[in-house]
Amino acid sequence: MGALLDRRIDIGLVPGSLQLEGMESEMFVSSPLAPVFPRGHRLAARRSIRLEDLTSEAFVLFPTSLQSHLLEIVTATCADAGFAPNVVQEAHHLHTVLALVDAGVGLNLAQPWVARADAMDISFFASGKPFPNRRSDFCQALRQYEQCPKSPVDCRNGKTARSDTCPCRQLSQPPH
């Protein structure tokens, strides 16, 4: 957020919704969580999985010191099912978490789009029903006073219907 507020970047992706004076956000992507298993895990072969099926499983998660939005969603999702995840290993970076899942250390709950599953020997479980009441959202955030009525990305790329009428162009500001 500092880079956005300091004008070093024009747009940013933030987890969850943004509640900050002078900033606006709109939904960029929203996804249910899905279990991530090492290939060959006994649950990966099932046709459906309930959250309760993960009660006794080992988890690889972010440490609480990171104050990760995804960690909050994972722990809340597990709490909704009546258990706390059995955390056997923590890692600071998502790809490290996925590498530990790949190594068979434990499982994780993540958005299926966060990493290419074929880059490692892991399985994103795609059940017909997402886990209840929990989604992972990412919003695009931008400074409120510079928001173009067109998409800020379209304005920057000159894709507005009439770029010469964009307020950021009329104010002699660089497009955002």
91-94 contact pairs (CB < 8 A, 24+)? 91/60, 91/62, 91/63, 92/62, 92/63, 92/66
Token pair listed for 161: 């219907």
Which of 5-14, 44-53, 102-111, 144-153 has the lowest average pLDDT? 144-153
- Asked whether the beta carbons of 38 and 124 are under 8 A apart, the reply is no
Burial letters for 149-166: b for 16+ Cβ neighbours within 10 Å, e otherwise?
ebebeebbeeebeeeeeb
Please name the residues in contact with 165: beta carbons below 8 A apart, sequence gap of 6 or more: none
Q: What is the structure's pLDDT at 161?
A: 42
Residue range 70-99: mean pLDDT, rounded: 91
Q: Which domains does the chain have, with CATH numbers?
A: 2-28+137-170 (no CATH), 34-132 (3.40.190.10)
- Using DSSP's 3-state secondary structure scheme, residue 173 falls into coil
Q: What is the structure's pLDDT at 64?
A: 93
pLDDT interval class at 111 (50, 70, 90): confident
Please name the residues in contact with 93: beta carbons below 8 A apart, sequence gap of 6 or more: none
pLDDT interval class at 56 (50, 70, 90): very high
pLDDT interval class at 120 (50, 70, 90): low
Q: Which residue has the higher pLDDT, 85 or 137?
A: 85
Q: What percent of the chain has pLDDT over 90?
A: 19
Rg (Cα) of the chain, in Å, rounded? 20
- Asked whether the beta carbons of 37 and 126 are under 8 A apart, the reply is no
Q: What is the structure's pLDDT at 128?
A: 44
Mean pLDDT of the chain: 75
